[in-house]
Amino acid sequence: MIDEKFIDDFIQDACELGENNRFIFLFSAPTKFVKSTLGIHAPHGSTELENVLAEIGPEDKLFVHWYTSKINALLEKIPSKTRVFLCFWGGDFLECTAYARFNNPLNRFLYDPLTLQLVRNHVQTNNRGHLRQRLQEARASKNFKNLIATQFSNLRLAAQIRANELYRKEMSERKVFLQRIEAICHWNPFDVDLLNKMYGVHLQQHYFIYGLGISEMEVSKPRIPSATTTIWLGNSDTPTNNHLDALIELKSFAKEPIKIICPLNYGNRKYAEHIAKFGSSLFGDKFVPLLDYIPRERYYQLMDEVDIAIMHHNRSQAGGNTIAFIMKGKKVYLKDQSSISQLFHSWGIRTLSGNALSTMSFDELKSSISDKDMASNIQILQDTLGNEEKRREAYKTLFSEG
């Protein structure tokens, strides 16, 4: 398990609905998100982890929450008949590590043009800095042979980056893991289809969703009529939000009475500062970056003040935010290629296309969804992802001995 949101809720559900559970935290204390004391802190390479792995038997089930290539080595230390499942997050299979060459199929899928250029600059700077640091450390050792070896090693690594060998290695390691697991635990079959196509595998899906409290979400109270249209952009300070491209598309509305709320407090601080500066340069004080942590209650209060939510991701991301906005009766724009958009449309949920924001008039952009569409959207979500009985039964099935 990783130190992330939703893990505490999963642990609580697992304890209520299953027996003989053991939770392994692959991180050290203190933690940022996970507060449960029911798990064992066993970071990679620790004696604690080796001891835990030695106790896993062929009759056990192993649920992986966030994959890294280090997991492959761990699976080699447990029985081949141990049933392994992946609780899917997204970024662990639909994003690249820092040292993968930027111009690869995954990045071209994830990023719109301006964001892709930003990622390119970051990757190149990051790689050059890494190679330079290795040389500096070799020089500091004053060992001539070590310096020569490091220079040759850097040349080889640079060549691997240019040839995309690191990307291919990463994709190959992920495929090995996907071929090992019994099923992927997830709520969106369109993501499973994407993984099957992207990695050339044949994954089975078990319905699973972390506890989001969907059934407890309420429609926002009618807002006091305001001349200002409030727009919510994205869900985190990660490039997969495609903030740069979305802001350029919204630039034509810069002189209109708008406010853009942009959450940038969950992910990459340096990227957040870049987006905050860029947004302010286009929209001035109409652009409101959220750079500091906000308690959940206040976060939902801010959502109530919003008229429009724009999620400019190309991959499955911001599911919790998107669901919350729909449950609050808001107008939501999603990219056509987003698997969340595809799933919602297959269910009949009415969201709008975010692929051509710049071609809209301001009246089109800000118009409210009808009461009929709002009620229909909410009912569909309550019957599907908000069906608590279905969610709990899915957990029971996963945790059962069979």
The 10 Å Cβ neighbour count of residue 329 is 20
Which CA distances in Å does 262 have to 159, 201, 299? 38, 37, 12
Q: What is the domain partition of the chain in residue ranges?
A: 7-87+181-212+391-399, 214-385
Cross-strand pairs, 263:
290
Q: What is the signed CA dihedral for 210, 211, 212, 215, rounded to 10 degrees?
A: 130
Cα(368)–Cα(329) distance, integer angstroms: 9
pLDDT for the residue numbered 140: 86
Cα(90)–Cα(37) distance, integer angstroms: 26
Q: Dig out the tokens for 8 from the structure.
A: 């505490």
CB of 341 closer than 8 Å to CB of 312: no
Cα(249)–Cα(271) distance, integer angstroms: 19
CB of 199 closer than 8 Å to CB of 181: no
DSSP 272-284: HHHHHHHHHHHHG
Q: Dig out the tokens for 307 from the structure.
A: 């008229």
Rounded to 5°, the CA angle 76-78-83 comes to 105
Cα(313)–Cα(317) distance, integer angstroms: 7
DSSP state of 286: G
Rounded to 5°, the CA angle 188-202-61 comes to 75
pTM score of the predicted model: 0.86
Which CA distances in Å does 352 have to 98, 258, 292, 321? 33, 19, 29, 16
The 10 Å Cβ neighbour count of residue 374 is 19
pLDDT for the residue numbered 27: 84
Q: Return the amino acid letter for 212.
A: L
Please give the chain's pLDDT, 402 residues, in tens.
788 878 988 888 888 877 778 888 888 888 888 888 888 898 999 999 999 999 999 999 999 999 999 999 999 999 999 999 999 999 999 988 766 677 788 889 999 999 988 887 766 666 677 778 878 888 888 887 888 888 877 787 777 676 677 788 899 999 999 999 999 999 999 999 999 999 999 999 999 999 877 777 777 776 666 789 999 999 999 999 999 999 999 999 999 999 999 999 877 888 999 999 999 999 999 999 999 988 878 888 899 999 999 999 999 999 999 999 999 999 999 999 999 999 999 999 999 999 989 899 999 999 989 999 999 999 999 999 999 999 999 999 988 865
**CB-neighbour burial class of residue 153 (10 A; exposed 0-12, middle 13-18, buried 19+):** middle
Q: Dig out the tokens for 165 from the structure.
A: 């060998």
Cα(281)–Cα(261) distance, integer angstroms: 15
Which phi and psi (to 5°) does residue 220 adopt? -60, 145
pLDDT for the residue numbered 127: 66
CB of 230 closer than 8 Å to CB of 398: no
**CATH number of this structure's domain 214-385:** 3.40.50.2000
Which phi and psi (to 5°) does residue 383 adopt? -80, -20
CB of 399 closer than 8 Å to CB of 232: no
Q: Dig out the tokens for 121 from the structure.
A: 């600059």
pLDDT for the residue numbered 163: 60
Q: Dig out the tokens for 115 from the structure.
A: 């964001």
pLDDT for the residue numbered 123: 61
SS3 18: coil
Cross-strand pairs, 309:
232, 332
pLDDT for the residue numbered 224: 66
